Structure 1
Amino acid sequence: MWSKHPKALPYLFLSEMWERFGYYLMIGIFTLYLKDVEAGFAMTEKEASDLYGTFIALVFLTPFIGGLVADRYFGYRKSIIIGGLLMGAGYFLMGVHSVTMLYVAMTLVIVGNGFFKPNISTLLGNFYSNDQYRDKKDEGYNIFYMGINVGAFICNFFGAALQIMLGWQYAFMAAGVGMFIGVIVFMLGTKHYAGYDQKKGTQPGDMPFYKIVLFILVPSVVFGVIGWLLKGVASASNPDSYIFGSDSTDAFIFACIPVIFFYTSLYVKAKADEKRPIGALLAIFGVVILFWAVFKLNGSALTTWADRYTDREVTGTTESAFSSLKLAKEVEFKKDSVELYDDQFRLQKQDGVVQKEVNYPLYFRNVKPEEKPSEGAKVSLWATNLSQSINPGWVIILTPLVVAFFTYLRSRGKEPSTPTKIAFGLLISALSVLVMVAAVKIGANGTEKVSVWWLVANYGIITIGELFLSPMGLSIVSKLSPTNITSLMMGGWFLSTSIGNKLSGVLASMWDSYEDKSHFFWVNFGLLMFATLLMFALLKQLNKVMAEKGIK
């Protein structure tokens, strides 16, 4: 497999695999850690989801700046090493039980990802720019993408075992160790990067970096501070006077205003021959925000579903296997404690006073009465964060099938255009949400636990949507962007991902406000169907722009 590709590929493959191992291990336990009353920060669902959304939004915002800095100043190798070291340090610090240290750790991960994520992909692409490997580029990226998902798949098993045996701190440390291994592997391949790590510097037509700082970064920071400080009108439903739900959401939305204005100005000021391609990209950016809003619920609302509403009990041979691998833990049933808790899971009432729950999560609350164990009995439950391995598992299984499907259509001259693939990706993703609507109905709106196969089916369908959409988005940016602003337009793709991630946190923060949980998923279905209809409405114009550029 490797012999037909650049010698740097195995090093980049393994570096990215270990980097994703660390990142997805951390993401898999992040909200669970925040909500843990005894060893975490006792956050409510709303608080944890809001912080999670802001975090992953900023993680996808910094690659734009990190890519520009690497292009013009640091070069790719140095940027990747700096980014990896910052992220590894952040993961280690995340396990220190201190709110201040938590925010320091998150900042290190956000900045580190900005340096690492875009530049390792760009460095890989440089090796396929010469004639020897040009025809192997798609295959090389498929191998590289597989490394991402191998890391994302295996990490949760390590995270679960370490958390059960030793606690949250050691699980976060494992993420840090994984990241540092990735940096070491990357450095071992240094001799193979010679000639491909040349920083480009500022090219003719590039926007000077100081203008990017003055016209994008500084205004965004100023607007973000204004959003944080500015208050709306207080009401019974909004006593804290938030404008968009929380201080962090207010700040993020305000910070996006100058950036959105900037990208709009690129379209307005563009030359006649560039206006339509830029307009097409901006339209796609706007539409895919809603995809990311629903897709990124995997680390928040769907983790909550796995934790509270999914039957996680293992017995017999499965219990023995999971217990020996430290992937399951025993929970004792106490009838009296079950009766203390109300429907919000995180609250208990004592003498009429509502207090934070002590024994969260209360697994037995929605177990059928006839299936509840006897008083004092213990049952084994598989670790919640293992559900985070379902999506990358599906990616590993389905990627070859989706690639083969499009190869077959191409051979018959029927391969759809890139915008058409994105449109169908949105439609397929919308259908995945209907699985969760059905799961809520089967579970009698959360009063009974349901099989994990509902989650498996949901992830399976939305993974197909992901494979239709995500790689296609990056492809269409490279195809349609005017050459002098390709980096800026790639930044626009990351910006749309970032806004979608934040919106995902906002959606998840409203989970407890829905008495009927199916309404939560119907809202998600409605958002994706709206995006689907909008994309199909734009399809004729988008395909026309692609045809004008001589591409599909």
Structure 2
Amino acid sequence: MKSKHPKGLPYLFFTEMWERFGYYLILGIFVLYLIEPQGIGGGLGFPDKDADDIFGTFIALTYLTPFIGGFLADRVLGYIKSIYLGGILMAAGYIGLGVFTDKPFFYTSLALIVIGNGFFKPTISTLLGNLYSEEPYKANKDSGYNIFYMGINIGAFICNIIAAFMRNKFGWGEAFITAGVGMLLGLVIFTIGRKHYIHAAQMKPVQEGDTKLSEILLKVFGPAIIAGVVGWFVPTMIFGSNIFGSTNTDAFIFACIPVIYFYVSLYLKANPLEKPSIGALLSIFLVSMFFWAVFKQNGTALTRWANYYTDRSVSESVEKPLAALFLVEEKSYETKDVNVYDDQFRSQKAEDGSALKEQGKDIYFRNISNEEKTKLESKNDNNVFLYNTELFQSINPFWVIVLTPVVVGFWALLRRKGKEPLTPSKIVLGLFISALSCLVMVGAVYAGQNGLVKVSALWLFASYGVITVGELCLSPMGLSFVSKLSPARLTALMMGGFFLANSVGNKLSGILASTWYNYENKANYFLVNFALLIFATLLGLSMLKRLNKIMKEKGH
């Protein structure tokens, strides 16, 4: 009996797993590294708001470059070369973050990662879709993408454990270098399995009406760069301040305008056969943007919640073995020179990024419960062990690994009964479920009396669990949707469009996170996120009938 999945799937699975291992490793410690004071802390000493802005811009750009990368893979480089080029550039960027501490080199390393991801990310997803383009695999494309997505999250799960170990035992730099080693290992696996997907890596033949590379460079890429430069300088020159809150944000939004215009023009200029498909894809791009705006706050707002508002104490039963494995931070519960923090847990720094000091206890102990204080004061040993903050970044991928078989099995059960919803319906359902995760965090705020005392880590586990169900309905389904509906000559380009929606959403996540300190009552912050996802759900529902009709007309 022939397998339901192509032989190339396991190799692409592990290639993507190790690539995501590196990417999510640096995301897990990115903001923590940026806000850590210079000197003894070893960080870069950025203000918290600036760290959120840089984080949002970085993850936005990593999903913006697939636009041009996917196009070059389709028309110039081919899929195999694009994956190698992207992987090598990302590995160099990860290692650069670990080796160089000067800010110019820091930004250069980020640029390498951004460019490398542009070549790698849309290409490997398109290559997987190509493997499922023929029988008997075609009917299992959704399942294939779900399995592939689980590989992403295995990498995202283990990376934070390794990051905690490397950071505690060696330092920030060694943790970043580990990410580069993971990426190189992924390329080795990709090379081993090459024979199983080389047949699916052929570039599409040129067709009449195809967009030319020169047109992309002159009408999109060039204007995007010019618009970005305009956004960087002009608003402050004319208005004396930024339009969207920061120079980075102004530049990014301005740069997106030519790219968004290009995708709209694809729809306007499409022939009657392709127009419905492209229109449906653009609709899904729009609503998914709101999901990423909330979901990607795991590296900013939710990391901040884990760091300052969550009980990270390690139980005595596992304290010693975890400490021996260097998976926990060691702090001292005693009076000493510590960093100064304001009432919203922002580290106060001098102009050079170094920490301001005061006599007192570590910031972690500011809002512990009276019961915990009594317990610590009665200890003979002042050493206290806490779970590393980045370990909480593994909760979401943990849920993905656990829930993927459940969700895939659920869809399979409905499929056998002839009741499986079409892909657009799954995506809209995912938006609504994701909105509910914000309400869980509202409950966490009230449970902790708005930060007066720390809350159980179970609140984060619950919130991540809910949004993961939504994620599994939306993200892998989005990849599958693009692969199903894209005209053959535009597949990688439209995959780049899906990642463009991710990009804009990622940038919005940074903008939203930077408003964290504007809300005295943190429940209101999470209610704003809830409202955004409910709006996206209603928008998706308004288009659902048309989207499902197009899916049926295209034979899906």
TM-score of the pair, normalised by structure 2: 0.91
Q: How many Å apart are 1:453 and its aligned residue? A: 0.5
**What amino acid is aligned across from residue 157 of structure 1 in structure 2?**
I
Figure out how many residues of one structure are paired with residues of the other and give that number: 544
Query: Contact 1:330–1:379 at 8 Å: present in 2 too?
Result: yes
**What amino acid is aligned across from residue 244 of structure 2 in structure 1?**
F
Per mean C-alpha deviation after superposition, the further-off stretch among 329-338 and 494-503 is 329-338
Per mean C-alpha deviation after superposition, the further-off stretch among 201-210 and 393-402 is 201-210
Change (3 A) 1:480 1:295: same
Q: How many Å apart are 1:289 and its aligned residue? A: 1.0
Which residue number in structure 1 is paired with residue 68 of structure 2?
65
Which residue number in structure 2 is paired with residue 165 of structure 1?
169
Which residue number in structure 1 is paired with residue 309 of structure 2?
309
**From 107, 112, 117, the counterpart of 1:113:** 117
Which residue number in structure 1 is paired with residue 405 of structure 2?
400
Q: Deviations over 1:102-135 (max 9, x none)?
A: 1111111111111122222333333344446555
CA RMSD after TM alignment: 2.7
Q: How many Å apart are 1:334 and its aligned residue? A: 3.6
Query: Contact 1:338–1:365 at 8 Å: present in 2 too?
Result: no
Change (3 A) 1:4 1:393: same
Please give the residue correspondences for 1:73-472 in structure 2 after superposition, counting only pairs within 5 Å. Answer: 73-95=76-98, 96-131=100-135, 133-134=137-138, 137-232=141-236, 241-335=241-335, 341-347=341-347, 357-358=356-357, 362-372=363-373, 373-374=376-377, 377-472=382-477
Query: Contact 1:45–1:512 at 8 Å: present in 2 too?
Result: no
Secondary structure of residue in 2 paired with 1:331: strand
Q: How many Å apart are 1:505 and its aligned residue? A: 0.5
Counterpart-to-counterpart distance in 2, 1:514 and 1:294: 16
Change (3 A) 1:361 1:80: farther
Counterpart-to-counterpart distance in 1, 2:34 and 2:523: 25
Query: Contact 2:122–2:492 at 8 Å: present in 1 too?
Result: no
Q: Deviations over 1:40-60 (max 9, x none)?
A: 111122111100111011111
Q: How many Å apart are 1:338 and its aligned residue? A: 7.7
Query: Contact 2:95–2:177 at 8 Å: present in 1 too?
Result: yes
Change (3 A) 1:32 1:139: same
1:541 aligns with 2:546: yes
Q: Deviations over 1:220-264 (max 9, x none)?
A: 1111000000225999xxxx7111010000000111111222222
Unaligned runs of 5+ in 1: none
Query: Contact 1:345–1:357 at 8 Å: present in 2 too?
Result: no
Per mean C-alpha deviation after superposition, the further-off stretch among 1-10 and 418-427 is 1-10
Which residue number in structure 2 is paired with residue 8 of structure 1?
8
Change (3 A) 1:224 1:2: farther
Counterpart-to-counterpart distance in 2, 1:85 and 1:441: 46
Unaligned runs of 5+ in 2: none
Secondary structure of residue in 2 paired with 1:471: helix
Secondary structure of residue in 1 paired with 2:329: strand
Q: How many Å apart are 1:335 and its aligned residue? A: 4.6
Secondary structure of residue in 2 paired with 1:502: helix
Change (3 A) 1:340 1:543: closer
**What amino acid is aligned across from residue 230 of structure 1 in structure 2?**
V
Secondary structure of residue in 2 paired with 1:544: helix
Q: How many Å apart are 1:404 and its aligned residue? A: 1.2
**What amino acid is aligned across from residue 332 of structure 2 in structure 1?**
E
Query: Contact 1:340–1:348 at 8 Å: present in 2 too?
Result: yes
Q: How many Å apart are 1:355 and its aligned residue? A: 9.2
Q: Deviations over 1:61-104 (max 9, x none)?
A: 11222222122222222221111111111001112211111111
Secondary structure of residue in 2 paired with 1:381: strand
Counterpart-to-counterpart distance in 1, 2:520 and 2:275: 47
Query: Contact 2:277–2:485 at 8 Å: present in 1 too?
Result: yes
Change (3 A) 1:361 1:171: farther
Secondary structure of residue in 1 paired with 2:204: coil
Which residue number in structure 2 is paired with residue 36 of structure 1?
36
Secondary structure of residue in 2 paired with 1:230: helix
Counterpart-to-counterpart distance in 1, 2:7 and 2:77: 23
Identity of aligned residues (%): 57
Counterpart-to-counterpart distance in 2, 1:256 and 1:180: 31
TM-score of the pair, normalised by structure 1: 0.92
Counterpart-to-counterpart distance in 2, 1:540 and 1:77: 38
Query: Contact 1:345–1:362 at 8 Å: present in 2 too?
Result: yes
